Chains A and B, each alone.
Chain A
Amino acid sequence: MSLELWIGMLVAALGTYLIRLLPLLWMQKRLTRREANGPVDALPKWLVVLGPMMIAAVLGVSLVPRTPDAAGWLATLIGLGVTLVVWRRTRSLGWPVVAGVITFGIVVIVARAVM
């Protein structure tokens, strides 16, 4: 990379960092000012709603399989089903993901062999 490109990359990196950092500093100041009301009350209502919506949006974006053919979609559907069943039984983070990934892999292999 040329010097100009290095500077451009560093500006992009610094900007990305500030996008993550500055809102934290803003909210921490706001929380300090309103500490008497309790921390959660100091959080604007729209932020309380937007947080879970962002997670749901990340889920939606990540749902599309790498190879979006019939086998990929079938594996996604069954993989999610197994993930949810294991989550209901274990109420943990790790096991449902492991079960989901294994199921996804098996369904992709079997479906491609059959179709």
Chain B
Amino acid sequence: MGVREAVPLLGGYIPVAISFGLISTQAGFSTAETMAISTLIYAGASQFLFVGMIASGSPLWLTVAMTLLINVRHVVYAPNLAPWLPRSRWWPWLMHGLTDQIFALAHSRLPQLPESQRVGWFFGAALLAWLSWIAGSLLGAVAGEWLTSRWPLLGEVMPFALPALFVVLIVPRFTSRRWAAALSTSVAVGLLCTLIGLTNIGIPLAATCGAFCFYMVRLPETTTPDRGGRA
């Protein structure tokens, strides 16, 4: 079930991974090195930054520090999922697959699943996403230039799967005017940050603004979101 529900993520992962593979090889990394980066770091934006900074001759310590700084936003993901993770020795290993997109999907779906299915669901979804990222990077490293010149529109259309998926995940949480105002603020700030080129800081900044709005704005209806609502 996790594999099936993570399929929409491929529309966003594969084109971006192809771009990464292409940029990485253009920056002087071999196909094997590109694969190693995608397999081990496995965090989109920070990988682009890593190869970009290395290629431009930045100090290694600064490159590593910036890579980690971009990924700091992941700190809040696992604690948010923890209440729905039944005891299993697999969770520490599965955390390698906890990307922005897998978090968004799991945060909506895990509460709706029986406890017995949650490890399997997460394993399937995270593994599919991880393998698609690695496969996309390989494709980009080997044939990225040919692919982007042959089907330029595909690389533009497929990434729309991500906003389409996220909108489906977030809409059930518009359960009151207070939540609607806070979530809309978060979406708007995230959009604005991307438009002005602050993509990397966009997610934590937008989420903070949304949370700030939630606590500051007191509107008449104040119900908590239906955590078990169907996505």
Is there contact, CB below 8 Å, between B95 and A64? no
| A11 contact set on B, CB distance < 8 A | 64
* Contacting residue for B78 out of A8, A27, A50, A96, CB 8 A: A27
Q: Find chain A residues with CB under 8 A from B224 CB.
A: 48
Q: CA A75 – CA B163 in complex, angstroms?
A: 12
Number of A-B contacts (CB under 8 A): 268
| B24, chain A: closest CB distance, angstroms | 11
Q: How far is the CA of A16 from the CA of B186 in the complex (A)?
A: 24
Chain B stretch 21-78: residues in CB contact (< 8 A) with chain A? 29-30, 33, 36-37, 40-43, 46, 50, 54, 60-61, 63-64, 67-68, 71-78
Indicate whether A60 sits within 8 Å of B188 (C-beta atoms), given known contacts A27-B79, A94-B8. yes
A80 pairs with B167, CB closer than 8 A: yes
User: How far does the alpha carbon of A101 sit from the alpha carbon of B178 in the complex, in Å?
Assistant: 30
In the complex, how many angstroms separate the beta carbon of A68 from the nearest chain B beta carbon? 8
* A-facing residues in B182-199 (Cβ within 8 Å): 182-184, 186-195, 199
B103 within 8 Å of A (CB atoms):
yes
- Chain A proximity of B126: nearest CB distance (Å): 11
Q: A12 is contacted by which of B29, B67, B169, B215 (Cβ under 8 Å)?
A: B67
Do A57 and B101 contact each other (CB < 8 Å), given the known contacts A9-B40, A12-B50, A94-B5?
no
Q: Which residue, B73, B79, B179, B204, has most C-beta atoms of chain A within 10 A?
A: B79
Q: Size class of A's contact patch?
A: 35 or more
Whether A58 pairs with B72 at a CB distance below 8 angstroms is no
Instruction: Let me know if B187 and A59 touch, CB within 8 A.
Output: yes
Is B160 a contact partner of A101 (Cβ separation < 8 A)? yes
Q: Does B210 contact A (CB under 8 A)?
A: yes
CB-CB under 8 A from B107, the residues of chain A are 51-52, 55
Chain B interface: which size bin?
35 or more
CA distance A98 to B107 in the complex (A): 21
CB of A44, distance to nearest CB on chain B (Å): 8
Return chain A residues, CB-CB under 8 Å to B12: 62
A19 an interface residue at 8 Å Cβ cutoff? Answer: yes
Contact A60/B187 with A50-B80, A105-B153 known, Cβ cut-off 8 Å: yes
- Give the residues in chain B near A9, CB-CB below 8 Å: 36-37, 40-41, 50
Distance in angstroms between the alpha carbons of A8 and B183 in the assembled complex: 37
For A74, the chain B residues whose CB sits under 8 A away are none
Note all chain B residues with C-beta closer than 8 A to A75: 160
A65 close to B162 (CB less than 8 A): no
| B225 contacts the other chain (CB 8 A) | yes
Q: Does B131 contact A (CB under 8 A)?
A: no
- Determine whether the beta carbon of B163 is less than 8 Å from that of A59: yes
Whether the Cβ atoms of A66 and B155 lie closer than 8 Å is yes
Task: Please tell me which one of the listed residues B79, B85, B203 contacts residue A23 in the complex, with CB atoms under 8 A apart.
Answer: B79
A-B contact list, 28 entries, CB within 8 Å:
A4-B60, A8-B63, A12-B41, A15-B64, A19-B68, A20-B96, A23-B75, A24-B85, A28-B82, A39-B83, A47-B79, A47-B80, A48-B80, A49-B182, A55-B103, A56-B207, A56-B210, A58-B104, A58-B190, A59-B167, A59-B169, A62-B12, A62-B163, A63-B163, A66-B155, A93-B5, A93-B109, A100-B160
